[in-house]
Amino acid sequence: MSVVALPQEVSTVAGAPMSYWRTVAWRLARDRATLVAGAILLLIAVSALLAPWIAPHDPNAGSIRLRLAPIGGATHPLGTDEQGRDMLSRLLWGGRMTLVAGLTPVVVAFLVGTVLGVIAGYAGGLTNTLVMRTMDVFYAFPAVLLAIAISGALGPGLPNTLISLSIVFIPRVVRVAESATVQVKGLEFVAAARASGAGVWPILRHHLLANILGPVLVFASTQVSLSIILAAGLSFLGLGVTPPAAEWGLMLNTLRQSIYVNAIVPALPGLAIFVTSMAFNLVSDGLRDAMEIRS
């Protein structure tokens, strides 16, 4: 949902053909909420990427004497944590970790899920039943529960977080990719391509993938926000990234004992998760609206 309403009709300039992606870009350029969210996202991503160079302090070096310094200080603008480590530096470094932990599973799920979904959708029959019924089983668990269950069994650590979150998101992508494939497969242009003598691969590449990748990508983008919340949540429970690494969820966990001493600093990592997750939500909503074909 975008806060700013989109124009209902997108006029294509008469005579000048407008490609699909140009139309999408044209729509996005007029969606202020999405643009602002996109800019915030870019800022977060760039600062996380540049953390080693722009972080003012060593994220893991602290001093007990400087514990829980309030925000607004000269040397520690965002204060210090319960071990006296610089919050700004830790937030920057933590962003790297949280983004990696949140984005990787969605990327993996997008790749694996699309392949599985297209195979199931295009092959149909027994293959479809087998793949889709297996995916249904994972729907027996709410996302949070599934992530925690698998992580709980596998034990803490970033690789295990990535595995368990990928397992959470793969079935979702498979469902979307499968239903898109079945829908496109039934359209006449696929039959037309077959009638032209095209084999399975050219049809998959030029006709199926070209038409389903967009919707599946948009769907995957809507899952990033949840993935980030879950990745940080696993760390928050002690099931994700292990200390002393800086990660937003983990920081929130270790800092929450200190809310009676300093109420503002412990809230910062959560605020970072929230802003990132919301920015992803707004951007994916805007993208979905912009990519909707009205013909």
Partner 1 sequence: MSPTPGLEARGRTGTAPLLLTRGLRKHFPLRGGVLQRVQAWVRAVDDVTFDVKPGETLGIVGESGCGKSTLARLILRLVEPDAGSVWFDGEDVRRALPGRMKRLRRDMQLVFQDPYASLNPRLTIEAAVAFSLLVHGVGRAEARDKARALLGRVGLDPRLYGRRYPHELSGGQRQRVNIARALVLDPKLLLLDEPVSALDKSVQAQVLNLLQGLKTERALTYVFISHDLNVIEYVSDRVLVMYLGQVVETGTAEALAEAPKHPYTQALFASAPSMDPDRRMERPPIAGDPPNPIDPPSGCRFRTRCAFAMPKCAEVPPPPVTVAPSHDVACYLYEPATVPA
Partner 2 sequence: MWRYVGRRLVLAIPTLLGASIIVFAMVHLAPGDPIAAVMPVDASKEQVEAVKKAYGFDQPLPVQYLKWLGRVVTGDLGKSIATRRAVILDVRDALANSLVLAASSSLMAFVAGIALGLLAAFRQGRALDKIASGIAVIGVSVPHYWAGIILIIIFSVQLNWLPAMGAASDGGVVDYARHMALPTIALALIPLGVIARVVRSAALDVLAQEFVLALRAKGLAHRRVFTHVVKNAAPQTITVLGLQFGFQLGGSVLVEAVFSWPGTGYLLNLAIFQRDIPVLQGVILVLATFFVLLNLLVDVLQTFIDPRIARH
Per CB under 8 A, residues contacting partner 2 are 1, 3, 5, 133-134, 136-145, 148-150, 152-155, 225, 229, 232-233, 236-239, 252, 256, 259-260, 263, 266-267, 270-271, 273-274, 277-278, 280-282
Angstrom distance (rounded) from CA 195 to CA 273 = 51
Q: Is 271 in the site for partner 1 (CB under 8 A)?
A: no
Q: Is 189 in the site for partner 1 (CB under 8 A)?
A: yes
Shortest reach from residue 203's CB to partner 2, in Å: 27
Angstrom distance (rounded) from CA 57 to CA 8 = 50
Q: Residue 75 binds which one of partner 2, partner 1, none, with CB within 5 to 8 A depending on kind?
A: none
- What mask of x and - would describe binding to partner 1 in positions 20 to 49, judged by CB under 8 A? x-----------------------------
Task: Write the burial class of residue 180 (CB in 10 Å: 0-12 exposed, 13-18 middle, 19+ buried).
Answer: buried
Q: Residue 206 binds which one of partner 1, partner 2, none, with CB within 5 to 8 A depending on kind?
A: partner 1
Among 210, 259, 263, 271, binds partner 1 (CB under 8 A): 210
The answer to whether the CB of 244 falls within 8 A of the CB of 98 is no
Shortest reach from residue 48's CB to partner 2, in Å: 17
Q: Residue 165 binds which one of partner 1, partner 2, none, with CB within 5 to 8 A depending on kind?
A: none
183 closest CA partner among 122, 136, 232: 122
Identity of the residue, 190 or 224, whose beta carbon is nearer to partner 1 in the bound complex: 190
Identity of the residue, 50 or 187, whose beta carbon is nearer to partner 1 in the bound complex: 187
- The residue whose two tokens read 């039943």 is 129
Identity of the residue, 203 or 279, whose beta carbon is nearer to partner 2 in the bound complex: 279
Of 36-44, 112-120, 193-201, 262-270: span binding partner 1 (CB under 8 A): 193-201
Task: Give the pair of three-digit tokens for residue 293.
Answer: 């074909």
Angstrom distance (rounded) from CA 230 to CA 224 = 10
For 41, residues 6+ apart whose C-beta sits below 8 A from its C-beta are 276, 279, 280, 283
Shortest reach from residue 59's CB to partner 2, in Å: 20
Of 62-70, 195-203, 259-267, 282-290: span binding partner 1 (CB under 8 A): 195-203
Q: Residue 144 binds which one of partner 1, partner 2, none, with CB within 5 to 8 A depending on kind?
A: partner 2
Q: Is 191 in the site for partner 1 (CB under 8 A)?
A: yes
Identity of the residue, 9 or 188, whose beta carbon is nearer to partner 1 in the bound complex: 188
Count Cα atoms within 13 angstroms, Cβ side, for 285. 20
32 closest CA partner among 292, 294, 234, 286: 286
103 closest CA partner among 227, 258, 191: 227
For 125, residues 6+ apart whose C-beta sits below 8 A from its C-beta are none
The answer to whether the CB of 190 falls within 8 A of the CB of 203 is yes
Angstrom distance (rounded) from CA 245 to CA 59 = 8
Q: Which residues bind partner 1 (CB under 8 A)?
A: 12, 17-20, 187-189, 191-199, 202, 206-207, 210-211, 293, 295
